[in-house]
Chain A
Amino acid sequence: MVGTSKWPLRILVVLLYIFLLGPILIVVPLSFSNDTYLTFPPESWGIRWYGAMFYHQRMTDAFLVSLAIASIVTALSLVAGIPAAYCLARERFTGRDALLNLFTAPLLLPTIVLGLSILLVFVRLNLLGTYHGIVIAHLIVTTPYVIRIMITSFTTLPAYVEEAAKTLGASPLVVFRKITLPLVLPGFVASAALSFLLSFDEVIISLFLTGPRLTTLPVEIYNYVESQTDPMAASVSVVLVSATMAIVIVIERTVGLAKAIGR
């Protein structure tokens, strides 16, 4: 092949990968700083900020809130998204394309505009600073991905496989449990993992909806980074990045990362 083994290109690519991954990886060494202010490389090393993190009430509260919200959002995304994806994948009806476009359209809207729009409606519905409000808002971010992944799963599972089981005398429930479910399981796991991650990491819409009494972890980190100069945010970031990477591996092993989030 032409140009595959050229060293200048390889070195350039390595440098560009350092640029791409540098800001994510640098939080790891900084998290082991014992300094009281942000300097790199740190003047003293230790695990002081990992300890401080657990005693920072607002941060631990926000972590638990995010965990709860992401779990509920994941469950509801699957409950709402999978049946819808099933219909859109299996039925040809008028308005099908319109519905599909409607369900995936929130991806096209800038998040900052979506956040403001949701704020304007939720303020009237008394949903600001509540679990309900944040969950509903996160669903609009997660369900487009669930629907896209599950439509692919249902389309690649041909209807005749289910028909065959039915012909051989299986009840609809048995067909679903023994045939449909196992075959779409990778899509199911990927949808769940991606929903959890998107909700857990969501920051812009949450900034509009959270208040002093209820904040999520990314919002709390954002506020901390904006107002404090000590390296505790690095320790929290390491926890966040490790969790993200674990979920990324789950998605990669099930439907493949590129398929799940590629546009």
Chain B
Amino acid sequence: MNNSEFRLPSAEGEAQRYSEFYIDPHIHMTARTTYDYIIMRESGIVATIEPAFWLGQPRTHVGTFQDYFNSLVGWERFRASQFGIQHYCTIGINPKEANNEALAEAVMELLPLYVCKEGVVAIGEIGYDDQTPAEDKYFRRQLELAKELDMLVLIHTPHRNKKAGTSRSMDACVEHGLDPARVIIDHNNEETVREVLDRGFWAAFTIYPQTKMGNARMVEIVKQHGCDRIIVDSSADWGMSDPLAVPKTAQLMRERGIPETYVRAVCYENALAAYSQSGQIQETDWLASDAIDQRQMFNGNSVLRGQEPTVRSSRECILIE
């Protein structure tokens, strides 16, 4: 793709053929409530990927990391299944906490217990935060692990000094012999997207109010760069974030004339294509499964009983600034 503005095909003839399904390929459900799962499913989200990250304050013991990983592959997956959502995750030590080297070393010892489990689609989210030597060391050691185990990688790009940090992350991946087609670079913006796509990586965008991308900007990015290898996610977590960011962005794209095939690509198909390279996620996981597995009960009671979700009110405003 060259630098001239990408020309959109006509949206006519595409009208109303809306995608029924969305994937949110980056969301921290551990920080979200059961109500969120209900409205996400109501809004068409069939699968989520939960990357291992930090929890808002640094952990002080390796045991809390282990319990966190356990919840990602165990309880959270089970909880999601109660609401008809397939839950996948990535495992890794995030850059912020890599700065506690004694702890990071202990977490590195844990990783082989988790990274090959079912539903673990990548090593991540890893990369740079303050771009310290310790961050660089554990980033590279995890790239080596990904190489050794033939795994995909999810990269968290820094909030500060983003453009340089993003280039440097990609340089490290290439230096360690990883195929760009097996690396997802997340939290992109208008400044980073061109280089990421040109170098053959997947470019993910986080629709997160105020600090990351707004979805009106996302519409412009798709208008300019097309839909190839572009992925939309919410990164919703314990902060001011929106678990419906993916369906809301899809809706805004449609309203602003983006063709349905593009919407489907960036809000569903591309995430599936990127992460299905792991062999750990496939469309049949949700197409073939009973939408909600109520055979599995929590203490003999389905968590769903007696709840009548009201979805519309939360969808009133689709614009995320």
Q: Do A and B come from one complex?
A: no
Chain A: residues with CB nearer than 8 A to chain B? none
